[in-house]
Amino acid sequence: MLIGAHVGVAGGYDTAVAYAASVGCECLQVFAKSPRQWAARPLRAEVVRAFRDAIRVHAMGPVLVHTAYLINLGSDDDILWEKSWTALADEMARAAALGADAVVTHLGTVHRRDPARTPERIASAIDLALAHAPADGPRLLLENTAAAGSTFGDGPEELGSVLGMLDVSAGRVGVCLDTCHAHAAGYDLSRADVWRSLIEEFDRCCAMPIEAIHANDCAFPTGEHRDRHAWIGDGTIGYGGFAAMFDQPALAGVPVIIEMPGDVPVKDAENITRLKRLRDACVEPAPPGA
Catalytic residue among 183, 229, 274, 279: 229
Catalytic residue among 14, 158, 224, 227: 227
Is 13 in the active site? no
Helical (H) or strand (E) element with 181: helix 179-185
Of 207, 198, 213, 194, the closest CA to residue 161 belongs to 207
Catalytic residue among 94, 106, 111, 183: 106
Catalytic residue among 120, 201, 234, 259: 259
Task: Strands of the chain (E only): list them.
Answer: 3-6, 27-31, 63-66, 102-105, 139-143, 173-178, 210-214, 217-218, 229-230, 256-258
**SS3 call for 173:** strand
Is 6 in the active site? no
Backbone angles phi, psi at 250, to 5 degrees: -65, -15
Is 106 in the active site? yes
Catalytic residue among 111, 181, 183, 274: 181
Q: Give Cα 197 to chain centroid, integer Å.
A: 20
Catalytic residue among 53, 56, 69, 167: 69
Is 181 in the active site? yes
Catalytic residue among 121, 214, 274, 279: 214
Is 178 in the active site? yes
Q: How many CA atoms lie within 13 A of 259 on its CB side?
A: 19
Catalytic residue among 14, 26, 90, 143: 143
Is 224 in the active site? no
Give one DSSP letter per residue of 61-111, joined into a string.
Answer: --EEEEPPTT--TT-S-HHHHHHHHHHHHHHHHHHHHHT-SEEEE---B--
What is the chain's Cα-based Rg?
18
Catalytic residue among 101, 154, 178, 217: 178
Of 142, 253, 249, 254, the closest CA to residue 206 belongs to 142
Residues 43, 31: Cα–Cα separation, whole Å: 12
Catalytic residue among 66, 139, 183, 279: 66
The catalytic residues are 36, 66, 69, 106, 143, 178, 181, 214, 227, 229, 259
